[in-house]
Structure 1
Amino acid sequence: MRENTRAQRSVGFLLGLVDEETAVRVRARTGLPEPETPAQARGRVTRAWTWARGLEASVALWIMENDDPQLNALVWRYIPTDSGLRRAIARGVPFAAGRVDPLPVDVTLPGQEPEIPESYVRHGLVGALREVTTVHQGRAAASMVLTRADWATVGAADRERPLPGYARWALNVRPDCPPSVRAGFGTHAKFTHRLRQAGVFESAADYVASEGPAIRVLEVLSMGRLLFPARLKEAEDALRPLVDEHLGDREDAWAVLVQLAETFHGNTPELIVTAGAVA
């Protein structure tokens, strides 16, 4: 069976937000295939992901929240510059809520733990962060913050005496930085911009409204039931009102959506609204 195109997978995800009767009629009108089976979806995950180049940091974290060693080994390949998440995967750090026991590390993990910074060896966690004077040093020191206890220690240290700016920046753009710790770093517009550049989102609903192209976001979401099921409902709830209002049961609007999806440069809400308006 041939694999669905990116546009078909993306529109198919949105079609899953309407009732089955409407979905059947739209598929008949547009030629969209039936939804992927779980086996097909798993097969697509095990192959190279066309959308995974430069995987957004928060998406990588959401996948890691499954605490699945095989998925973690796959994520490793697409976060080459995120030493913190890579170190966490290599050490079996759990990310699922409430879990404290370390995870087994998949035997196929294609790499080793990033180098431990010398400043950490000499000064410890907080000491290494306080020694930071460059971006590189900040990233290296921040990569040693792994557990919930580490984050609590860092937050307390910053409240006691603010950490250097580069250290704060490196910690702030870690997708696993707890909201309470991030809030202590302030709400400067530069921080918000850097979070977006780093692919860090407060929630799946925030990700839905992120910059285009929409097809990339929708293709990621189309794998959500397999890769980040705990986060998917929030994304679906954010999109469902837009789908109901601008597409609904209008077969012509869905047909336009299929035609636009591959080349549309705006974000996902803009794609949905535009398809409805054009139709």
Structure 2
Amino acid sequence: MRDHTRAEQAVGFLLGLIDEGTAGRIRTRTGLPGPEHPAAVRRRLDRAWAWANALPSSVVLWVLEEDDPDLNAVVWRFVGTDAALRRAVARGVPFGPGRTEPLPVHPSLRDEEPEVPESYVRHGLVGALREVTSLQQARAAGSMVLTRTDWAAVAEAHGERPLPGYARWALSVRPDCPPALRERFGSHRKFTHRVRLAGVLDGPAEYATAHGPAVHALQVLSMGHVLFPTRIKEAEQALRPLVQDQLGDREDAWAVLAQLVETFHGNAEELVLTASAVA
């Protein structure tokens, strides 16, 4: 059993969007490998650090929403210097809808919480956010906004008197910032551009159709049933009609796609349309 290449993983995800019989024939006649073994997917998770830097922050949030301590240990590699998410993971903060009880913390992450900011100790949650005069201070103070109760307190405080710009910036680029609160923080073009640069997406459908390069997004999605099984269907539903309509049972189109995918710079939607047109 060998691990699939990046291109094979990407094409394999798209092949999973058509019926199994047709996908089997396509694989046989184009030389593409069969479905990836779950054990190989698990091995890829262990090497996830290799592409972690290119992972949008919202994808990390979808993994956290599974509230799985083992997955959280994988996510730990993704969050890098993000003190807020690292603190949340180290404290066992739940992210899944409706969950309130703390999660068990993976043994490897115990005692790994970042240092609590001095401003929080002196001024409390809202007070520390109101005191910030730089982005660095805002990120430190904002790292204590962890639970739904914390976010509600921030929203209430902002409603009473707008928070400083740096505080709003630091909180808005967090993937776990409630969308309604993010909208209240700002709607200027520069503001929304910062949010986009931070990797905050509307959902898996946007990631599947509009995020490039296609080979990287599809590679991540090919692990979706392991990384974020609750959200992967949104990505599949977004791409399935296009794949079935443009590629379907066309062996030539699938062969072209397999040749293009590794070096194609556009998103998955553009990749499928290009392969169909070339074929």
TM-score, L = length of structure 2: 0.96
2:86 is aligned with what amino acid?
R
Offset at residue 109 of structure 1 (A): 2.3
Give the C-alpha shift of residue 245 in structure 1: 2.3
How many pairs does the alignment contain? 279
Q: CA RMSD in A?
A: 1.4
Matches of 2:208 and 2:190, distance apart in 1: 22
Is the contact made by 1:139 and 1:167 (CA closer than 8 Å) also made in structure 2?
Answer: yes
Find the counterpart in structure 2 of residue 236 from structure 1.
Answer: 236
Shift of 1:97: 1.4
CA distance in 2, matches of 1:119, 1:182: 23
Partner of 1:206: 206
Question: Is residue 273 from structure 1 mapped to residue 273 from structure 2 by the alignment?
Answer: yes
Q: 1:82 Cα shift?
A: 1.4
User: 1:161-176, aligned counterparts within 5 Å?
Assistant: 161-176=161-176
Q: Against the structure 1 CA distance between its residues 249 and 49, is the aligned structure 2 distance closer, same or farther, given a 3 Å change threshold?
A: farther
Q: What does residue 138 of structure 1 align with?
A: 138
Residue equivalent to 1:194:
194
Q: 1:272 to 1:111 in 2, by over 3 A?
A: farther
Letter of the structure 1 residue corresponding to residue 276 of structure 2? G
* Structure 2, gaps ≥5 residues long: none
- Which residue of structure 1 lines up, in the alignment, with residue 105 of structure 2? 105
Question: Which SS does the other structure have where 2:194 is aligned?
Answer: helix
Question: By how many angstroms is 1:46 displaced?
Answer: 2.3
Whether 1:151 and 2:170 are equivalent positions in the alignment is: no
Residue 263 of structure 2 is aligned to residue 263 of structure 1:
yes
For structure 1, list consecutive stretches of 5 or more residues without a partner in the other structure: none
Rate the CA distance shift 1:105–1:124 in 2: closer, same or farther, 3 A. same
Question: 1:94 and 1:41 mapped to 2: Cα distance?
Answer: 25
Partner of 1:18: 18
**Inter-partner Cα distance in structure 2 for 1:110 and 1:62:** 22
Letter in 1 for 2:122: R
* Segment of structure 1 superposing worse, 248-257 or 36-45: 36-45
- Contact 2:92 / 2:102 at 8 angstroms: preserved in 1? yes
How do 1:22-101 and structure 2 match up within 5 A? 22-101=22-101
CA contact (8 A) 1:55 1:79 kept: no
- Going from structure 1 to structure 2, the CA distance change for 1:275 and 1:110 (only over 3 Å counts) comes to farther
> In the alignment, which residue of structure 2 is the partner of 1:219?
219
TM-score by length of 1: 0.96
* Alignment partners' CA distance in 2, 1:111 and 1:26: 50
Following TM superposition, by how much is the alpha carbon of 1:132 offset from its aligned partner in structure 2, in angstroms? 1.2
SS of aligned partner of 1:45? helix
Rounded Cα–Cα distance in structure 2 between residues aligned with 1:208 and 1:9: 14
Alpha-carbon distance between aligned partners in 2 of 1:85 and 1:116, rounded to the nearest angstrom: 13
Q: How far is 1:141 from its partner?
A: 1.1
Query: Where does residue 124 of structure 2 map in the other structure?
Result: 124
Q: What secondary structure sits across from 1:108 in the alignment?
A: helix
Q: State the shift of 1:171 in Å.
A: 0.6
What is the distance in 1 between the residues matched to 2:80 and 2:105? 18
Q: Decide whether aligned partners of structure 1 residues 201 and 249 sit closer, same or farther in structure 2, where only a CA change above 3 A counts.
A: same
AA aligned to 2:95 is F
Cα separation, 1, equivalents of 2:54 and 2:38: 25
**In the aligned structure 1, how far is the partner of 2:252 from the partner of 2:49?**
31
CA separation of 1:198/1:245 partners in 2, compared to 1, >3 Å: closer, same or farther?
same
Question: For residues 49 and 5 of structure 1, what CA distance do their matches in structure 2 show?
Answer: 16
Deviation at 1:111, TM superposition (A): 7.0
- Aligned partners of 1:199, 1:139: CA distance in 2, in Å? 17
- Tell whether the 8 Å contact from 2:67 to 2:94 is kept in structure 1 after alignment: yes
Instruction: Report how far residue 226 of structure 1 moved.
Output: 0.6
Contact 2:49–2:77 (CA under 8 A) maintained in structure 1? no
Structure 1 residue 51 displacement after superposition: 2.5
Identity %, equivalent residues: 67
Deviations 1:206-244 (A, max 9, x none): 212344211110000000001101111111111112112
Aligned partner of residue 36 in structure 1, secondary structure: coil
Deviation at 1:99, TM superposition (A): 1.3
Check 1:251–1:203 CA distance in 2 against 1; reply closer, same or farther (3 A cut): same
Does the 8 A contact of 1:51 with 1:220 survive in 2? no
> Is the partner of 2:106 in helix, strand or coil?
coil
Post-superposition shift, 1:81?
2.3
